[in-house]
Each structure stands twice: as structure tokens, then as C-alpha cells.
């Protein structure tokens, strides 16, 4: 009889600790699942745009959906030709760290120059897929990361 009471008390304590842990971890998890930005539909523009690109560039904008000032971003996306193939000699995954001053609730436009990846000038715009921000660096020194592209746009954009 005493053994049953001890077992019941132990189970009760373990259950209580489990509930407390779940409450604390669920708060952190909910914060982690919130995306702190909104990225626009990217487009590839061909031709020279002074100070931005000579042959091709990916143009998009980012809205800061957080309460902190953004200092820099690292964007990642995949590039394809009109047939869905890799248009470059190397990898078609482009990763670019961009200095960016974006205040809370502000939007800023960006261009990622594709010239360093090109060996032949494209005749038609590339397609962009799986675009997302890998890192956001804030002015207060904190950093938000999305290593696996959880918030990536998974559509092919022209």
C-alpha cells in the first residue's frame, strides 16, 4: 500500500514537471515560428542598370515585420532558365549578404547582381524559386536565422 502511494506521488511530480516544461518551451516555440519579414515576388531584369547590374539582376523588396531595426540581411534563392535547368556553370543557389537599414514596418527594395554567375548573357529572364532570408542582423546585435528555408517562397517567379 505504501509503495502504491509513493509511485502515485512520483507520477504526480513527474507529470507536474512535464506540464511546467511544456508551458515554458511552448512560449519560445511560438516566437520562433513567427516570420519577421515579408518578401515580395522577385523578378529578374535583364540589361544594364547603372550601379546595379550589367546583364541581369534579381529585384525584390523586404518588409520588416519586427519591432527592431534591421542592419543587414542574407538572402538565398535558386535560379533556373526557362526550361527549368541550371543556367550557370556552378551551383544555381545564390546567397548574398546585403547591408540593409530597414526600420520597423518599413519596406526596402533590393537587387542581387547575377553578373558574377553568368558566363553567357541571357536572352530571356531567369526564373527564381525558393527565395528566403537566411539571416537578419539587427542593430541591437541580435540575429534571426532560417537555416533550412522554413519561410521560403516555393513558387517559380519570372
**Residues 155, 9: Cα–Cα separation, whole Å:** 54
pLDDT value for 125: 93
Mean pLDDT of the chain: 85
- Please state the rounded mean pLDDT for residues 72-90: 94
The full DSSP string for 30-91 is HHHTS-SEEEPPPEEEES-BTTTBSSEEEEEEEEE-SSS-EEEEEEEEEEE-TTSS--SSS-
1, pLDDT greater than 80: no
Q: What pLDDT is attached to residue 7?
A: 56
Q: How many Cα atoms sit within 13 Å of 156 on the Cβ side?
A: 10
| Between 23 and 104, residue with greater pLDDT | 104
Q: Which residues pair with 8 in a beta bridge?
A: none
Q: Does the pLDDT of residue 130 top 90, yes or no?
A: yes
Task: Classify strands 70-80 and 143-145 as parallel, antiparallel or unpaired.
Answer: unpaired
136 vs 119 pLDDT, higher one: 136
Please say if the pLDDT value at position 5 is more than 60.
no
pLDDT value at position 47? 94
Each residue's pLDDT tens digit, 31-59: 557 899 999 999 999 999 999 999 999 99
Amino acid at each position: 500500500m505504501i509503495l502504491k502511494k509513493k509511485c502515485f506521488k512520483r507520477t504526480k511530480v513527474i507529470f507536474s514537471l512535464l506540464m511546467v516544461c511544456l508551458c515554458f518551451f511552448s512560449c519560445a516555440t511560438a516566437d520562433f515560428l513567427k516570420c519577421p519579414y515579408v518578401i515580395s515576388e522577385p523578378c529578374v531584369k535583364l540589361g544594364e542598370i547603372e550601379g546595379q547590374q550589367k546583364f541581369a539582376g534579381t529585384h525584390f523588396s523586404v518588409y520588416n515585420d519586427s519591432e527592431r531595426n534591421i542592419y543587414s540581411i542574407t538572402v538565398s534563392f535558386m535560379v533556373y532558365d526557362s526550361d527549368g535547368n541550371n543556367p550557370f556553370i556552378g551551383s544555381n543557389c545564390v546567397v548574398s549578404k546585403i547591408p540593409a537599414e530597414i526600420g520597423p514596418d518599413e519596406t526596402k527594395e533590393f537587387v542581387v547582381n547575377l553578373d558574377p554567375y553568368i558566363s553567357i548573357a541571357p536572352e530571356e529572364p531567369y526564373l527564381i524559386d525558393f527565395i528566403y532570408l537566411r539571416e537578419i542582423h539587427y542593430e541591437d546585435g541580435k540575429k534571426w536565422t532560417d537555416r533550412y528555408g522554413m519561410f521560403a517562397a516555393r513558387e517559380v517567379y519570372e
